[in-house]
Amino acid sequence: MCGVFGVATARGRKLSLDEQACVAMCDLLAHRGPDASGSMHAGHVALAHRRLTLLDAVGGTQPFRSTGASPRVILAWNGQIYNHLEIRRALAAEGAVFHTRSDTETLATLLSLRGIDGLRALRGMYAIAAWFVDSDELVLARDPLGIVPMFYSEIPVAGGGCELAFASEARAVISHPSFRLEPDFESVASFLEMPRRTFGARTLYRGLSALEAGEVRRYALAGDRLRCMWSGREIPSLAPTSCTLNDAAWLVREAVTESVEAHLAADSPVCTLLSGGIDSTIIASIARASNSNLMTFAAGSDTDAARPDSDLFMARRVAHMLGSDHHEILISGEQFVVAWERLITEGSHPLATPNEVAIALLSNAVRPHAKAALTGEGADELFGGYGAPLEATLAWIDSSSGHDPQSAADFYRTAFGWAPRALVPELFNSETVAKFGNHRGDRDNDPLGELLLDACRDAGDLSSIDAHLAVQRRVNLVNLLERLNLSLMRGSVEGRVPFADVRVLDAAMRA
């Protein structure tokens, strides 16, 4: 995993930031890429990069410039492409020549030869910024499941122009000298109702947007005005099929095993996070078959270490069974409070759940031993693993006479919100209400409601449990993956999620 920062404006203008300023803003992401850095500045486009080296330390330096006679692409991105060798072989058969082992070169060549249509060939996690030099277009893209975040803002600058700033974390974007720092209190109200940093494209800062899962934005830089010429989302929408229970079991087993093996690929050590639950146990057992020196890590409260029903206790048992090199991180109440405050300060956002603290502290313990960690996120949203929410959803399906998107969105809000919507205005103090209003949230400006309604509209037949799993992937999984990414990267560790993989999703839909 790495850190990306960039800024662009129309060709007829000059950026308000010089290269030194861009590098300084990218250095706010140094924890995402402590191993190397690079930058370029072309007057109206600048890209900067912080690198965590996991594959081809020499060949994957960024920003990366495509080679050959094909259209020129300069690339800065964050993530891993797990099928890059397949793509490389296909491009080589068409005459492409490669000079490194890096998936960065594969991606740059693919974009050069195929343009944004090439993104459909990717299997992996990514947030991409690519400048197509000859056509003077800038493309931002995020993987279909939303594993890797990307934030952006179109910022008015002195002289009447506008600059597009984008980065792997919000902090780098809002540090732009011309960004007007102001909370989006409608989103803050939604946060208090259902804690998360993003609601689709909306964030907790007014004027700051998040690239949505599967979204591609294409900006025209030629001329005297920055213009977004196209924006669209690639939504995984595989049609479910039926097969026997035995066939389904083998199909899923093969897909998950292959995915774990693909996610282990790296030049640096890769470990697994282990909770003792079924998801992380499956991943650790497959990884252990490929690596006799597998390291596993677990974290929890220091008061839970000996409790037989705790994650720590169960992880210890699984590690003993697998014979892994197991590490435990015990967190005291005092450590928790200190880390909570530090993460809020460094991340420029409130935390959504307490386990973000545990994951961040865990990453600090992992870093001396491994640069990447496999985790079990994604299994519940693909295979229906949330017991109580699933039962509540099935009850709604059985009892509801109308399975329209608005009714489904209202159900999700009522059933799974952390605070009743009517109570949210009471959580603002009088000073905030006097300055920004009551924010009781009508349907015209309701970030949470819009996210839920859009997810339900895109999910299909809401009398089917498969549609509700699609809603979980859009609403819950993206939030989980974002939290995992930001928390693990505090300690410079890449989180890899074998269940949140398009081929595993395909198997889940066909099983």
3-state secondary structure 375-429: CCCCHHHHHCCCHHHHHHHHHHHHHCCCCCHHHHHHHHHHHHCCCCHHHHHHHCC
pLDDT at 432: 76
DSSP state of 163: E
| Number of domains into which the chain is organized | 3
| Gap between the Cα atoms of 445 and 448, Å rounded | 9
Give yes or no: residues 188 and 205 share one domain. yes
Determine the residue type at 402.
Answer: G
Residue 238 lies in a domain: no
Give yes or no: residues 466 and 493 share one domain. no
Give yes or no: residues 176 and 273 share one domain. no
pLDDT at 304: 80
**Element at 278 (helix H, strand E):** helix 278-290
Residue 180's CATH number: 3.60.20.10
Hey, which residues does 137 pair with through a beta bridge? Answer: 132, 220
Residue 415 lies in a domain: yes
Give yes or no: residues 467 and 483 share one domain. no
Give yes or no: residues 277 and 330 share one domain. yes
Residue 106 lies in a domain: yes
pLDDT at 438: 56
| Gap between the Cα atoms of 224 and 246, Å rounded | 61
Counting every residue written for the chain, the total comes to 511
pLDDT at 354: 87
Give yes or no: residues 160 and 200 share one domain. yes
Last residue of a domain, one of 186, 205, 233: 233
pLDDT at 510: 83
pLDDT at 424: 79
Residue 500 phi, psi (nearest 5): -85, 70
Q: What's the domain range around 171? A: 3-233
Buried residues in 118-152 as b, exposed as e (16+ CB within 10 A): bbeebbbbbbbbbbbbeebbbbbbbbbbbbbbbbb
Give the pLDDT means over successive 10-residue stretches in the chain (511 positions): 94 94 97 96 97 90 87 95 96 93 95 94 96 96 96 93 96 96 91 93 96 96 84 68 82 96 95 94 96 94 84 94 96 92 88 90 95 95 88 89 89 90 80 65 79 94 92 93 94 96 91 74
DSSP state of 31: G
Residue 239 lies in a domain: no
Give yes or no: residues 359 and 435 share one domain. no
Please give the model's pTM, rounded to 2 decimal places: 0.94
Residue 404 lies in a domain: yes
Residue 343's CATH number: 3.40.50.620
Give yes or no: residues 25 and 140 share one domain. yes
Task: Retrieve residue 451's tokens.
Answer: 């996210």
Residue 169 lies in a domain: yes
Give yes or no: residues 28 and 142 share one domain. yes
Task: Retrieve residue 242's tokens.
Answer: 């039926």
Task: Retrieve residue 213's tokens.
Answer: 């899962």
Residue 86 lies in a domain: yes
pLDDT at 239: 58
Last residue of a domain, one of 199, 233, 267: 233
Hey, which residues does 80 pair with through a beta bridge? Answer: 125
Give yes or no: residues 378 and 499 share one domain. yes
Residue 240 lies in a domain: no
Give yes or no: residues 333 and 412 share one domain. no
* Residue whose entry in the numeric block shows the structure tokens 């989180």: 495
Give yes or no: residues 76 and 202 share one domain. yes
